[in-house]
């Protein structure tokens, strides 16, 4: 049974950790905010906010790989690297 789940940036990510392209894991996703005033137009980008304060902007449809926090402890060496997505979003400042 795989612990990794494929999703897209605007998907149901809250409460999961994401796998970065280098195979490292993010902190827990605490919020996904659709960016209504994005220059490309509404419903085109999201800001994904993590528990450590990091924020990443993703265009809609970017594939991401998520894992439940409860499953992280059971990962073997290199498993996350094998599940890593090819692309990633752009780090941005908090929107507070």
Report residue 5 CA to chain centroid gap.
11
* Residue 69 main-chain phi, psi, to 5 deg: -55, -40
Enclosing domain of residue 10: 4-92
User: pLDDT at residue 96 above 70?
Assistant: no
Q: Which residues pair with 47 in a beta bridge?
A: 33, 57
What pTM, to 2 d.p., does this model score? 0.91
If one counts the domains in the chain, the total is 1
Report residue 56 CA to chain centroid gap.
8
pLDDT in tens, 33-55: 998 888 898 889 999 999 999 99
């Amino acid at each position: 049974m795989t612990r990794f789940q494929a999703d897209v940036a605007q998907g149901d990510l809250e409460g999961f950790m994401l796998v970065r392209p280098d195979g490292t894991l993010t902190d827990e996703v605490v919020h996904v905010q659709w960016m209504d005033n994005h220059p490309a137009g509404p419903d085109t980008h999201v800001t994904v906010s993590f528990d450590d304060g990091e924020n990443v902007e993703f265009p809609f449809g970017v594939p991401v790989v998520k894992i439940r926090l409860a499953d992280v402890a059971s990962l073997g060496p290199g498993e996350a690297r094998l599940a890593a997505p090819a692309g990633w979003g752009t780090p941005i400042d908090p929107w507070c």
